[in-house]
A and B are shown apart, each in its own frame.
Chain A
Amino acid sequence: MEETITLSKAFDVSAVRAQFPILLRKVNNKDLVYLDNAATSQKPQSVIDALTHYYSHYNANIHRGIHALAEEATAAYEATRVAVQEFIGAASSDEIIFTRGTTEGINLVANTWGRQNITDGDEIIISEMEHHSNIVPWQLLCKEKGANLKIIPVNDDGELEMEKYHQLLSEKTKLVSIVQVSNSLGTINPVKEMIKAAHAVGAVVMVDGAQSAVHLPIDVEDMDCDFFAFSGHKLYGPTGIGVLYGKRQLLEDMPVFMGGGEMIKEVTFEKTTFNDLPYKFEAGTPNIADTIALKAALDFVLAHKNEGAKEHETELLEYATAQLSAIPGLRIIGSAKEKVSLVSFVIARVHPQDLGVLLDNQGIAVRTGHHCTQPLMKRFGIPGTVRASFAIYNTKEEIDKLIAGLHKAIKMLS
Chain B
Amino acid sequence: MSLGTIQEREEKIIDDFSWFETWEEKYEYIIELGKKLPVLDDRFKLQENIIKGCQSTVWLVADYKDGKVFYQADSDAIIVKGLVSMLVSVLSGNTPDEILEAKLEFIQKIGMMSHLAQTRSNGLVAMVKQIKHYALAYKSIEETQKTQ
Contacts and interface: CB of A to CB of B under 8 A. Distances in A.
Interface stretch (B2-10, B38-46, B74-82, B92-100): B74-82
B49 interface: no
Nearest to B83: A357
B77 A354 contact: yes
A357 B82 CA distance: 13
Interface string B90-115: 00000000000000000000000010
Contacts of B24: 361, 412
Interface string B9-28: 00000000000000110011
A28 interface: yes
Interface residues of B, number: 15
A66 B8 CA distance: 70
A354 B79 contact: yes
B57 interface: yes
A383 B76 contact: yes
Contacts of B27: 357-358, 361, 412
Given A368-B121, A369-B121, A412-B28, A353 B80 contact: yes
A361 B31 CA distance: 14
B140 interface: no
A351 B23 contact: no
B81 to A, nearest CB: 9
B56 interface: yes
Interface residues of A, number: 15
Contacts of B23: 28, 361
B31 A353 contact: no
A361 B79 CA distance: 13
Chain B contact residues: helix, strand, loop or mixed: helix
A413 B31 contact: yes
Contacts of A361: 23-24, 27
B55 interface: yes
Given A361-B23, A369-B121, A413-B78, A353 B28 contact: no
A186 interface: no
A384 B77 CA distance: 12
Interface string A4-31: 0000000000000000000000001000
Which 5 pairs, one residue from A and one from B, show the smallest C-beta to C-beta distance? A351-B77, A353-B77, A353-B56, A361-B23, A369-B55
Interface of B: 23-24, 27-28, 31, 55-57, 76-80, 114, 121
Given A28-B23, A353-B77, 7 more contacts: A351-B78, A353-B79, A353-B80, A354-B79, A354-B80, A356-B121, A412-B31
11 contacts: A28-B23, A351-B56, A353-B80, A354-B78, A356-B121, A358-B79, A361-B23, A383-B57, A412-B28, A412-B31, A413-B31
